[in-house]
Every structure is written in C-alpha cells, then in structure tokens.
Structure 1
Amino acid sequence: MSWQDLSTAPASGTVICESHEVEGVRTFDLDGFPLLVIRDASGLRGFLNLCPHQFLPLDHRGGRILSADGGRLICSSHQAQFDAESGAVLAGPAPCGLDPVPLTEQKGKIIISAF
C-alpha cells in the first residue's frame, strides 16, 4: 500500500511540526494519517506509521520503536524490524517494508514535500 492510497493522506505542503520538535523518532497522527518522522545523523525522513504485516502503527503497544543502536524500527505489536534509514524489512513475516513519505524543511518547519 502506498501512503498516497490512504483517504487521510495529507497534501503536499502540509506542515507537520516545527523543525526543532523532532530529534530521533517521533510519531504523528495528522487527522487520521499515521506518520513516523526520524531525524538523526543520516538526515530527515518520514514513513507511513503502519506495519505492513498488521496495519497497526509501529508504536501501537508502546512508544519505544527505535532499537538501542538506532538502526532498526521495531513494531511494538509483533516485533517485525525495519531499517531505520530505508524502511526496508529486516525481519518479519512478509518481504515488504515501510512506505516512505517525502519530507522537507522550509523556514523552520517540517512539511510533506511534493511527490
């Protein structure tokens, strides 16, 4: 499923938050659209916050979804693991990863960029 297929998908230019509000991993519910935003040494990136195996937010059963080494996102419902940089599946019942959501920063804000 592509994030754009969701009826709640935000339009390009939608403001997510102030840039300073994201360090590490943070999840958002944008009027029913589940978004996961990561900022680390690799930069800023976003993913649809839905485990492709269970269609639940990765943080459904708890907010600790980033591995101790910062390299993996872990589904709190069934422990599937995804690469924190690319969203690719590392461990889980199906060969599908997290759907990336394009983000950019403008004037101190994180926004959905053109797709």
Structure 2
Amino acid sequence: MAWTDYSSAPPAGTPVCASSKVTGTLTLEVSSEAGRFPMILVQSPDGLRGYVNACPHQYLPLDYRGAQLLSADGTMLLCTAHGARFDASSGAVIGGADCGLDAVPLCERNGQILIGD
C-alpha cells in the first residue's frame, strides 16, 4: 500500500514539525483536512526519512508496545508489537514482515519539516 492510499494522508506542503525535534526517531500524528495521519520520522545514516507508523504485518503502530524503535546502531526500525525489522534508510523489510514500510516524502524549509511531493 502506498502512503497516499491512507484516507488521512495529508497533502503536499502540510507542516509536520520543526526540524530540531527529530533526533533519532519521532512518532507523531500530522493533522490536515484529511484527518490525523500517523508517522515516524527518523534521522538515519542517510538523512531524514518519513514512514507511515503502521507495521505492514498487522497495521499496528511500530511503537504500540514501547518507544524504542531505533536499533542501537541506528540502521533499523523495530516493531515493538512483534519484532519485525525494517531498514531505517529505505523502509525495506529485513525480517518479520512480508513487505516494507510505506515511505512518506518529506522536505525541509526554514527549519520546518513538510510533507513533500
């Protein structure tokens, strides 16, 4: 499923949060006229990434059972509900699920993270 298939997917240009709030991982809901959209932001070794906060295994939030989502080396996102692992830079599945996370395009402008095109 692509991130735009979610009924609450925000349009391009929707503010997400201040860039300074993301150190490691940050889970939040982005509000727009479409509704509240669950996201994970991660500072990966390859830069800022955004994903829908829904594990493709059971569509539970990755932080369902705890806030520790990033592996110790910063390369993997972990589902706290059942242990699935995803590449923090791409969202690709490493183990425990059939497919990867839905990536959300982001852009940064004037110290603010926005939904990208």
* TM-score normalized with structure 1 length: 0.93
The corresponding residue for 1:20 is 20
Partners of 1:77 and 1:111 in 2: CA distance: 28
The aligned runs of 1:1-115 (5 Å cut-off) are: 1-31=1-31, 32-94=36-98, 96-114=99-117
Deviations 1:39-92 (A, max 9, x none): 244211101110000101100111001111111111000000001111110011
Partners of 1:93 and 1:28 in 2: CA distance: 23
Partners of 1:97 and 1:40 in 2: CA distance: 16
Partners of 1:104 and 1:48 in 2: CA distance: 16
Report how many residues are paired.
113
Gaps of 5+ in 1: none
* Larger mean Cα displacement after TM superposition, 48-57 or 31-40: 31-40
- Give the ranges of 4+ consecutive aligned residues of structure 1 lying more than 2 Å apart after TM superposition: none
Q: Which amino acid aligns with 1:19?
A: S
Partners of 1:77 and 1:63 in 2: CA distance: 11
Q: Which amino acid aligns with 2:62?
A: L
Q: Secondary structure at the match of 1:29?
A: strand
Partners of 1:66 and 1:9 in 2: CA distance: 24
Give the deviation of 1:38 after TM superposition. 1.0
Q: Which amino acid aligns with 1:75?
A: C
